[in-house]
A and B are shown apart, each in its own frame.
Chain A
């Protein structure tokens, strides 16, 4: 998914938003989204995701800080011409058909009407485009929203919670659609609080909590190194063997088991060595931190409740 070219499409420095004299919704966010990547903007409800995205497309102004989006200031018409977005759900006329809604958006975006049929085909809604938008299911509405965002064939696609309200099948279909859209040079920035969705679709993630960007890295880096879980008896002898194999720093002993900071591919060798040393192994398995573990660690367990 990720391009080798690392030019930045979205860059913010100290971006902040305070509503009136009260809530500081976004607090000094420094983020960068590279060309061609699918970037996940992850955070609990109320963390400041949508507010940040609204600032990026110029729907609201920043209180302080700077942002560059597709080479322009947020809200600049030249920049908007390169951005397709779906913010806070799809907003369309319920009495118009899906196709007519897209035609209205195409007119406003100065896009050829031929493009409407192309994007309907892309999101597999051609056969249902003649129905009124108000009669669509949530998933179909979301698809029309994505189609509208794609009308300009944008360099940067910003999708705010694109799977919100969808059933599991709808979520899977939307994930596939996002993955397909994210192929090639197009940059996709999606916000979500659904960890599985981000883990499956994104190259890099930014984690926001209480308005602050607390981490920005690749999904792999965020999840950290893999390891091996070992439960063996006698524990003292097992500790000696494992320390001998991997060094003291790589062996973490806790509550009667060991967490080894090593490649799970070493499992067979670990088992052989322990058995040869007279240690009985009752459990041995690879350990992978889930994005959920990392998320709660970064944002605090009580976030989003």
Chain B
């Protein structure tokens, strides 16, 4: 099991699709956090229920930032999964993997 995880890490850490997806996830997290930060620090004058600065605290991070980015993240995960599975098939690496020692 550990060896399998190590193999997955070894092959994915330099994989263009993986790296691009990681960069996009990072960028969208910063973007969403930036929006929340902007709304918290620049409340509109007439809006008494603006975004509180409390939303920028770490305990609210998952709730706000990840919550808002969830849909985007799900879509990206589907695309990344399709790209990974497709390229494994195209490169013939599926055959290479399946003829090793399953469960080793």
Chain A residues within 8 Å of B, Cβ to Cβ: 57-59, 77, 80-81, 83, 85, 87-96, 100, 103-105, 107-110, 148, 152
Q: Contact between B11 and A80 (Cβ–Cβ < 8 Å)?
A: no
Q: Contact between A93 and B97 (Cβ–Cβ < 8 Å)?
A: no
Among B14, B95, B104, the residue within 8 A (CB) of A108 is: B104
Chain B residues within 8 Å of A, Cβ to Cβ: 3-4, 6-7, 10-11, 14-16, 91-104
Q: Contact between B102 and A80 (Cβ–Cβ < 8 Å)?
A: yes
Most chain A CB within a 10 A radius of its CB, from B11, B92, B93: B11
Among B10, B94, B103, the residue within 8 A (CB) of A104 is: B10
Q: Contact between A57 and B3 (Cβ–Cβ < 8 Å)?
A: no
Q: Contact between A110 and B99 (Cβ–Cβ < 8 Å)?
A: no
Complex CA gap A108/B1 in Å reads: 9
Known: A93-B15, A108-B104. A87 touches B10 (CB 8 A): no
Q: Contact between B102 and A91 (Cβ–Cβ < 8 Å)?
A: no
Q: Contact between B104 and A77 (Cβ–Cβ < 8 Å)?
A: yes
Nearest residue, chain B, Cβ from A145: B96
Q: Contact between B99 and A59 (Cβ–Cβ < 8 Å)?
A: yes
> What are 20 contact pairs spanning A and B, CB under 8 A?
A58-B98, A59-B95, A59-B99, A77-B101, A77-B104, A80-B99, A85-B99, A88-B92, A89-B92, A90-B92, A91-B92, A91-B94, A91-B95, A92-B93, A93-B11, A93-B91, A96-B14, A100-B10, A107-B3, A109-B100
Among B4, B91, B94, B100, the residue within 8 A (CB) of A80 is: B100
Nearest residue, chain A, Cβ from B3: A107
Dominant secondary structure at the B interface: helix
Complex CA gap A87/B6 in Å reads: 25
Smallest distance from the beta carbon of A87 to chain B beta carbons, Å? 6
Q: Contact between A77 and B103 (Cβ–Cβ < 8 Å)?
A: yes
Residues of chain B within 8 A of A109, CB atoms compared? 100-101, 104
Smallest distance from the beta carbon of B103 to chain A beta carbons, Å? 5
Q: Contact between A95 and B102 (Cβ–Cβ < 8 Å)?
A: no
Complex CA gap A71/B103 in Å reads: 19
Q: Contact between B100 and A88 (Cβ–Cβ < 8 Å)?
A: no
Smallest distance from the beta carbon of A109 to chain B beta carbons, Å? 4
Given A95-B15, A100-B10, A152-B101: 18 more A-B contacts, CB < 8 Å: A57-B99, A59-B95, A77-B101, A77-B104, A83-B99, A87-B95, A87-B99, A91-B96, A95-B16, A96-B11, A104-B7, A105-B7, A105-B100, A107-B3, A108-B7, A109-B100, A109-B104, A148-B96
